[in-house]
Amino acid sequence: MQEILKHLSQEDKQNKESQETLGQHLNSEVQKQNFLVEQLRQMVAEREAKVKELEEEIEQLTLQVDSQKKLTRGAHFVVILDVLFHFLLPCYPSWSLGRDTSTCPTDSLS
């Protein structure tokens, strides 16, 4: 009977040691997984910040392009006005707005 009790006691001791070792191993695995999860969270946060930065840059570039389009349209309008004031207005005295209409640039073309 003592042999059986001794054997059972040894088995119990071995089981406890195995459970402690397993518990330590599991705890270590949990710590590794927590570390990896935190690394992933940090990577996601960095990527989200980069996406936001790129979205802002795209918005700025879009505003620049729109502004340049307006300037280009404005430049075309200035050219049209220049042609109007220098070439056409002298030919139409009623449009003169106080300008000299004595010579019409288009008279030399005919």
Query: Using an 8 Å Cβ cutoff, are 72 and 66 in contact?
Result: no
Which of these, 79, 82, 76, 101, lies nearest to 90 by C-alpha position? Answer: 101
Which of these, 71, 88, 107, lies nearest to 99 by C-alpha position? Answer: 88
Cα distances (Å, whole numbers) of residue 29 to 15, 25, 34: 21, 6, 9
At 42, which helix (H) or strand (E)? helix 2-83
User: What local confidence, expressed as pLDDT, does residue 86 receive?
Assistant: 66
Radius of gyration of the chain (CA): 44
User: What local confidence, expressed as pLDDT, does residue 41 receive?
Assistant: 97
User: What local confidence, expressed as pLDDT, does residue 102 receive?
Assistant: 58
User: What local confidence, expressed as pLDDT, does residue 88 receive?
Assistant: 64
In angstroms, the CA 94 to CA 75 distance is 27
User: What local confidence, expressed as pLDDT, does residue 43 receive?
Assistant: 96
Q: How many other CB atoms are there within 10 angstroms of residue 91's CB atom?
A: 14
pTM for this entry: 0.47
Mean pLDDT per block of 10 residues along the chain (110 residues) reads 76 78 82 94 96 94 84 72 67 56 56
In angstroms, the CA 64 to CA 70 distance is 10
